[in-house]
Structure 1
Amino acid sequence: MKNILITGATDGIGKATAKELAKKGKRIIIHGRSAAKAQKTLKELENLNSEAEHKIALADLESQKEILDLSNNLKAEENKIDVLINNAALHKESFELNEAGIEKSFAVNYHSHFILTLLLFPLLEQSDYRRIINLASMAHSDNINLDKVWNPDNYEGSQAYYDSKLAMLLFTFKLAKILDNYYVNTLHPGVISTKLLHQVWGPGGESVKSGAETPVYLASSAELKGESGHFFVNKKKQKATAAAYDNNLQNELWEKSIKMIKEPEILDQIAARFLKI
């Protein structure tokens, strides 16, 4: 049975993705911040697939320490992760820094997933399936200032969100280049009726079930064997903005992402091959 970890699995697209994959017989590791929401999601998944021992994994992705604790708990309790779906995202209207001094939208939407992915390689390596799926968006920046994005001088909430989604694209394409026998892809889920959409852009959008279609496809389709380093929209490959394919920008983001890890134990646990690229 495939083990699938989904960040932000207690709401929106993440929860819809978890439910659709549970219907397909997958075992879901439900990441969320709220124990109550995670328990509710767990019950829903158990009703869809009672044979899989679905599991809750709580952590606030604003905190590097909690990301470390999450990964340590998973490595202690799991024998493998077959699919990692980096889905969690937020949109901050006002400027806030996390304890590492990183703007919170960029910290959660991108940097937390950078850290979590690198920490979980011991579990991913135990699978012969090895899929990493990063949720980006068509709403991504055309370029990015990697000196300013961590702690911008002039904060604008939507720009921070767009920058974080370009960062997810850059990360995906770089990771796909340096990994053999992994299927690393990214996607735009659509304009989906989620709390985030309503908070920022107002009512509207397609159903969350529609938003789950492409991540479910990337997580489960046999057609994708050997496909890596692509951006998918409506289950089809599409080009992202040109900056996302810039090798220098990919390398610079990676190097700065390592430098912005402030928990020494995280750096101790990341394989040496990822610390210098």
Structure 2
Amino acid sequence: MRNILVTGSVDGIGMRTAAQLLAEGHRVVLHARNEERAAIAKAAFPAAAGIAVGDLRSLDETKALAGSLAAFGRFDTIVHNAGIARLDSPERELTGDGLESTFQVNVLAPYLLTALLAQPERLVFVSSAMAADGVVDLADLQYDSRPWNGTEVYSTSKLLDLMLAVAVARRWPGTLSNAVDPGWVRTKMGGDMAPTSPGDAARAQVRLATGTDPDVLVSGHYFSERDWRPSEASLDPALLDDLLAHCGNLTGVQLPEDSSSPATTTPSTR
């Protein structure tokens, strides 16, 4: 039995991921952005170890969320599933912190939780095939200067999630840190025509969270059934270190040094 956190676990893929992990007998902690959604999760999953509440659009709430999660002990696996998409939005939306909302929720929040929580054995960052259309510019991570395009902003956030997974894998050899593309899924964002069910998408996350076959006992990898893979330029070690530095500066929290024994494999960007 593993102690596992799944963020964004009230609906969609996150809910199915939590359900499958609970069915396998794991100790699962859920996450909801507010008390109303937490009540929904509690009713759906009475066997869950607990439900932590925190809005990832707020740095203070994300930090408080990390504090409340400490009560559940060290997690063996953290699944960074929570995310938002404003694909058709005509303009930037700033949070109360003055940060672009998609970037804050999809990128800064998983970074901040990773940095504040005890180092786990495994990290799963949920990326997307849309990462292929991401355009990374560390000088303009929040599209302050670039023309606004909601689809590109989401794609970029998913590429940054992939890069975070690899960056953490390099920084923490004692943790298996990977990114996964769940596919085109029948969710609120994916629509009814998507070919992949939320349950099938969740199985990929569960496999990375708990699997024991050699294919998943790796680190710094991007798991996808599609042919696209990130360029060597986007996984340049200096760029990855700069991304961690930018996230640290924006949140005021630096990623700690590795505190664990070496993981099963050496991180790889292949």
Give the counterpart of 1:211 among 187, 198, 201. 201
Give the counterpart of 1:184 among 172, 177, 183. 177
Per the TM alignment, residue 121 of structure 1 is displaced from its structure 2 partner at its CA by 2.3
- Corresponding residue number in structure 2 for 1:146: 138
- Corresponding residue number in structure 2 for 1:27: 27
State how far apart, in whole Å, the 2-side matches of 1:29 and 1:162 are: 28
Give the counterpart of 1:249 among 229, 233, 239. 239
Contact 1:13 1:209 in 2 (8 A): yes
- Corresponding residue number in structure 2 for 1:81: 75
- Corresponding residue number in structure 2 for 1:193: 186
1:196-248 CA-to-partner distances (Å, cap 9, x unmatched) read 223xxx743421101111101101111146411111124x9973344432222
Answering whether residue 106 of structure 2 is matched by residue 121 of structure 1, we say: no
Contact 2:74 2:118 in 1 (8 A): no
State how far apart, in whole Å, the 1-side matches of 2:26 and 2:51 are: 14
Per the TM alignment, residue 177 of structure 1 is displaced from its structure 2 partner at its CA by 1.1
Coordinate RMSD, CA, aligned: 2.3
| Structure-2 change in CA distance of 1:212 and 1:273 (3 Å) | closer
Q: 2:188 is matched by which residue type in structure 1?
A: K
Moved more, 173-182 or 94-103: 94-103
Q: Given the two structures, how large is their TM-score scaled by the length of structure 2?
A: 0.86
State how far apart, in whole Å, the 2-side matches of 1:247 and 1:237 are: 23
Answering whether residue 122 of structure 2 is matched by residue 131 of structure 1, we say: yes
Per the TM alignment, residue 37 of structure 1 is displaced from its structure 2 partner at its CA by 2.8
Moved more, 113-122 or 186-195: 113-122
State how far apart, in whole Å, the 1-side matches of 2:177 and 2:81 are: 14
Contact 1:136 1:188 in 2 (8 A): yes
Contact 2:134 2:157 in 1 (8 A): no
1:117-160 CA-to-partner distances (Å, cap 9, x unmatched) read 110026x3xxxxx1100000110135311111224332111111
Q: Given the two structures, how large is their TM-score scaled by the length of structure 1?
A: 0.83
Contact 2:8 2:82 in 1 (8 A): yes
- Corresponding residue number in structure 1 for 2:57: 62
State how far apart, in whole Å, the 1-side matches of 2:189 and 2:13 are: 11
Structure 1 alignment gaps of length 5 or more: 125-129
Q: 1:139 is matched by which residue type in structure 2?
A: M
Contact 1:7 1:31 in 2 (8 A): yes
Contact 1:134 1:186 in 2 (8 A): yes
1:56-97 CA-to-partner distances (Å, cap 9, x unmatched) read 00110010000110111122x122211100011111224111
Q: How does 1:93-108 map to 2 (within 5 A)?
A: 93=89, 94-108=91-105
1:28-80 CA-to-partner distances (Å, cap 9, x unmatched) read 1111113233333233333xxx4xx52100110010000110111122x1222
Structure 2 alignment gaps of length 5 or more: 260-270
Identity, % of aligned pairs?
27
* Higher normalized helix content (fraction of residues): 1
1:91-120 CA-to-partner distances (Å, cap 9, x unmatched) read 122411123322100110111110111100
